Each structure stands twice: as C-alpha cells, then as structure tokens.
Amino acid sequence: MEDSPTTRSGAVDYRLRPDGVDVVGWSCPADGYSSAVVAFACPLCGERMVDAMFDGLGTVWSFTTILVPSPSRPDPYTLAYVDVDNGPRLVVDVSEAEAPNLRVDARVELYIDKNGRASAAVAPRGAHE
Ligand SMILES: [Zn+2]
C-alpha cells in the first residue's frame, strides 16, 4: 500500500485506494494533535510531529452551501468540515447529490471526485461515483 498513488486537493495529500482514500498527515506522539498540512512541531506542546496516515472516514462537524458565484466552480456548492477519525479537521466538497443527505454528526467517507476535489459522501464505502 505504500506505493499507492497520491493526489493533492487544496493543501492536503490523499493516498488513493480502491475503496476510498487515506489522508496523509502528521501527528504529535505526545498528545495526539494531528494535521494534514506540513507541521514539523506540534503547536500545542512543541514536540516533533511524526508522519501519519488517517483513514478517510470521519464525522461532519459543520457544513454550508455557498450561493455566491465563483469563477472556479458553478454555484451553489456545498462545503463540509469533517473531523477525520483520529485525525485533523478538513474542509471538503460535497456533491449536489449528497448535499441533502448531510447532517451535523453524520458519518461520511472521503473520496476524490471527477474534478480532483476531496469530497465527502454519506454512503457505504465505495458506493459513490
Ligand atoms: Zn503535541
């Protein structure tokens, strides 16, 4: 699995798997603080961060639908904050089809959509597009 391909969405790297993605990141061995962006020292205690890989499953912390037009994507579009299990909180896309299913505390899985964006789906693992 270490040779699995990775892709970048925003500032975060994802390792692609047949049934989803893992989030590439760092964690603090002293207190468990985690990050998906480069962090050499823990902002909480100063300990040196170590490489970590987080399963692409998590819980919705919050979400919002953006109604303001953007040059980079059609509107409206939905973004979700997802607390990755034992990992960092990430902002990811939510497809138009998935947006009505979203709830705070909903269990979601992350995947890379056809536009290369990290997205969340409330669906059984591997059941989304
Ligand atoms: Zn720490």
Q: For the segment 2-51, what is each residue's pLDDT rounded down to a tens digit?
A: 578 999 988 899 999 988 899 999 999 999 999 999 889 999 999 999 99
**Phi, then psi, of 99 in degrees rounded to 5:** -55, -45
Query: Distance from the CA of 122 to the center of ligand 1, in angstroms?
Result: 31
Q: Is 101 helix (H, G, I), strand (E, B) or coil?
A: helix
Ligand 1 ion local residues (Cβ < 5 A) = 28, 30-31, 33, 42, 44-45, 47
Q: How confident is the model at residue 1 (pLDDT cuts 50, 70, 90)?
A: very low
Q: Is 99 helix (H, G, I), strand (E, B) or coil?
A: helix
pTM confidence score: 0.88
CATH class, domain 6-121, is mainly beta
Interval between CA 17 and ligand 1 midpoint (Å): 29
Question: What is the sign, positive or negative, of the torsion defined by CA atoms of 24, 87, 20, 81?
Answer: negative
Domain residue spans of the chain? 6-121
What is the amino acid identity at position 33?
A: Y
Encoded tokens for 34: 């985690």
Give the percent of the chain with pLDDT over 70: 93
CA distances to 27, 34, 86, 90 from 40, rounded to whole Å, are 9, 11, 19, 19
